[in-house]
Structure 1
Amino acid sequence: MVKIGLVSDTHSAGSGWDLPANVLHALEGCDLLLHCGDLECIGVLDCLEQVAPVLAVRGYEDPREPGDRLADVSRIVEVAGVRIGMVHDIQWPTPAIMTTPDGAGLQYPASGLPDLLHRKFGGSVDVVAFGDTHEELIEWRDGVLFINPGSPNYPGRRHVPGSPGTVALLQIQDGKIDPSIINLSDYA
């Protein structure tokens, strides 16, 4: 089994070493960590690397870093035969999902979800990992897992102000993906 930790929207204004200790504790035992942007300083990646290797995508205010650790907009990471597309802002529901002419509701464009994801990531994916909203989400759409780990530092509106946030975990075994959201209050 491969364990992948997902983090997003840490918004570290300091050195990056100011992540709450429960973040590192919750991610112990992961084989890889993926950060979905808005880290705000490279030190966040250095801090997370105490647990496991880290790959990330840039958010709105994130610095650039030479090398492969921090991708500019999106990337595909393949782990245990599972293709994970990473992006900070998926704009979910995406702009490519349009209201039907009769106003009946939302539907994919005629090209469908596979084409939409190919345009976003340059290839097919089994998982879309994204951030931006600070709201944790696990949702399957047409066989593709959409997952947002929320924010460990600044959780979304569903949380009590000042409470610990969330990260996420993907466990992959024999091609089966088991996603979960981890409430950091469980690691206080």
Structure 2
Amino acid sequence: MSKVLIISDSHGLTKELEIIRERHVNEVDLMIHCGDSQLMPTDPWISGYLTVMGNCDFGAEYPLETTAEVAGRKFFITHGHRYSVKSTLMNLKYKAEELNADIVCFGHSHVLGAEVVAGTLFINPGSICMPRERFEKTYVILDLQSDKINMSVYEHSGRELTNLAREFIL
């Protein structure tokens, strides 16, 4: 059993990233930041997160996208602004197929969401700074099990939003 923390769109927040990292560092195998941290890779607050470049990350030396593998599942990580994620997941779906990704992590829209499209799980953890379509400032933890994935949603304060938990069979 492995766990992955996914966060995005922190837009300059520092203390919050550090608190969330310290809260979960001993229970997760990977921490992903889907961009728009507005921090430099050398900033201590973003250390420990696998981070990609967002449209507001000027001058930072992050990759535009990356992949990672945890518990035999391939993750594709991007901010999403180059894939028009505010209007469609189709472009991300094609990229996921090209990479043979099981899970796609993205941000940009600040809208919390999770859905399976053609056997691939698409996760947007929302924003811990400026959420849209809901009040809670959120991040996600995926519990990767051999036959399913359990998603837990947390407020930046650490409170679990149990009504938003979902189980996905991939």
Q: Which of 77, 82, 96 is matched with 1:86 structurally?
A: 77
Distance 1:150 1:142 in 2: 22
How do residues 37-56 of structure 1 correspond to structure 2 at under 5 angstroms? 37-42=35-40, 46-49=44-47, 53-56=48-51
Report the Cα distance in structure 2 between the residues aligned to 1:151 and 1:95, rounded to whole angstroms.
18
- In the other structure, the counterpart of 1:35 is 33
Contact 2:115 2:122 (C-alpha < 8 Å) held by counterparts: yes
Whether 1:3 aligns to 2:8 is no
What secondary structure sits across from 1:187 in the alignment? coil
Q: Say if 2:39 and 2:60, in contact at 8 Å, map to a contact too.
A: no
CA contact (8 A) 2:10 2:37 kept: yes
**Equivalences for 1:142-161 in 2 at 5 Å?**
142-159=118-135
The letter of the residue matching 1:78 is: E
Higher Cα Rg, which structure: 1
Alignment of 1:1-188 (within 5 A): 1-12=1-12, 17-19=14-16, 23-24=20-21, 27-28=24-25, 29-42=27-40, 46-49=44-47, 53-62=48-57, 63-65=59-61, 70-71=62-63, 73-89=64-80, 90-92=83-85, 93-94=87-88, 113=93, 116-118=94-96, 122-159=98-135, 164-174=136-146, 176-187=148-159
Moved more, 164-173 or 22-31: 22-31
> How much does 1:118 deviate?
5.0
Question: For residues 117 and 137 of structure 1, what CA distance do their matches in structure 2 show?
Answer: 19
The amino acid across from 1:8 in the alignment is S
Q: CA RMSD in A?
A: 2.8
SS in 2 for 1:6: strand
Unaligned runs of 5+ in 2: 161-170
Identity score, percent: 29
